[in-house]
Amino acid sequence: MSLDDMNDYDYLFKILLIGDSGVGKSCVLLRFTDNEFRTTFLSTIGVDFKIRTINLNGKQTKLQIWDTAGQERFQTITRNYYKGAQGIFLVYDVTEKKSFDNIGKWVDEVKNHGEKNVTMFLIGNKCDLVNERVVSTEEGEMRAQELKMSFLETSAKDNTNIAECFRVMAEEIEQKLSTDENEIEPNKVITVTEGKKIKKKKIC
């Protein structure tokens, strides 16, 4: 699919998924774009992206969604993709306390390398794993309130709140941009640098 195809949408929003490795960013992306869930865990190396078009208040809105690697050794690469992004999902695993504790680190990454007015959204993934949960819904809600961002718990496996997250994100981006002095223009394209194709490795 060409990034320059401007005939089938009104708006194009660039959205990133960031967070620790293994929290399920790729699974969230795959569920939203392809309605698939894979039980084999693969670690993203560098970045990958997929596109899905949704109807947002009567406008065809193309979401260009970038899945970034969570490992520290890839952060120099992934930081390049923060620029130009209007929306960033910060994802943690409700069964992994460290991934939740590291949200502050990822917020700092966005502040240091992202756009000034980027919309951030907190996601607590793997909420289907009830017996393995170590981070409560209330903890997630409180953290989101502290950071002044929206929050939802998701399950890529059960398809819980996946579409809702992207819908709310797109609405928040539209609202933020439409209140700016430079209102959204139809067919406005966010220029990005296309990276190399995704390479993945299996995690034992």
> In the chain, pLDDT over 70 holds for what percent of residues?
75
Q: How far apart are CA 122 and CA 150, in angstroms?
A: 6
What DSSP string describes 140-153? HHHHHHHHT-EEEE
Q: How far apart are CA 184 and CA 172, in angstroms?
A: 13
DSSP for residue 73: G
Cα radius of gyration rounded to whole Å, the chain: 16
Q: Which two tokens stand for residue 70?
A: 């969570």
Give pLDDT tens digits for 91-145: 999 999 999 999 999 999 999 999 999 999 999 999 999 999 999 999 999 999 9
Q: Which two tokens stand for residue 136?
A: 């409560």
**Domain 11-179, CATH among 3.40.80.10, 3.40.50.720, 3.40.50.300, 3.40.50.1370:** 3.40.50.300
Give burial (CB, 10 Å; 0-12/13-18/19+) of 194.
Answer: exposed
Q: What is the pTM of this model?
A: 0.80
Taking a C-beta distance cutoff of 8 angstroms, is the pair 136, 6 a contact?
no
Domain residue spans of the chain: 11-179
Q: Could you identify the residue written with the tokens 């790729």?
A: 26
Give pLDDT tens digits for 131-168: 999 999 999 999 999 999 999 999 999 999 999 999 99
Q: How far is CA 25 from CA 64, 70, 128, in A?
A: 15, 9, 15
> In the chain, pLDDT over 90 holds for what percent of residues?
62
What sign for the dihedral angle of Cα 156, 87, 146, 103?
positive
Taking a C-beta distance cutoff of 8 angstroms, is the pair 59, 35 a contact?
no
| Mean pLDDT, rounded, of the chain | 82
Q: Which two tokens stand for residue 26?
A: 């790729």
DSSP for residue 137: H
Residue 82: closest CA among 111, 105, 43, 41: 111
DSSP for residue 198: P
Q: How far apart are CA 72 and CA 165, in angstroms?
A: 26
Q: How far apart are CA 104 and CA 108, in angstroms?
A: 6
